[in-house]
Amino acid sequence: MQTIEVSVTIYQEILSRRKGRESISKTLERELKPVKKYAIVAELERLEKQPGEDISVVKERLAAKKLAANRL
């Protein structure tokens, strides 16, 4: 693990984004992760709750989104 120096303002901002007693490193990891991964997971959870969706349709949608995300 490496040590970095940040201004007081940035340090206070990091502390304000913590969830409970979460470590600063975990807070930074969570805040810096790409949002697109969470969007795909949310889409999958939404599709699981919908009755009547054919699995092939779900796979095609997720594959298309994955390809689009890889192009960015």
Nearest Cα to Cα of residue 30 among 18, 21, 40: 18
Is there a single domain that holds both residue 13 and residue 41? no
State how far the Cα of 14 lies from the Cα of 8, in Å rounded to an integer: 10
Is there a single domain that holds both residue 47 and residue 59? yes
Is there a single domain that holds both residue 27 and residue 43? no
**What is the pLDDT of the chain when averaged over all its residues?**
79
What is the value of pTM for the model shown? 0.45
**Full domain range(s) for residue 13:** 1-32
Is there a single domain that holds both residue 24 and residue 7? yes
State how far the Cα of 5 lies from the Cα of 17, in Å rounded to an integer: 18
Going by C-beta distance under 8 Å and a sequence separation of 6 or more, which residues neighbour residue 53? 47
- Does residue 48 have a pLDDT over 70? yes
- Does residue 22 have a pLDDT over 60? yes
Is there a single domain that holds both residue 27 and residue 1? yes
Q: Which helix (H) or strand (E) holds 57?
A: helix 55-71
What is the tens place of the pLDDT at every residue in 23-39? 999 999 888 876 666 77
Contact call for residues 37 and 31 (beta carbons, < 8 A): no
Looking at the 3D structure of the chain, how many domains does it have? Answer: 2
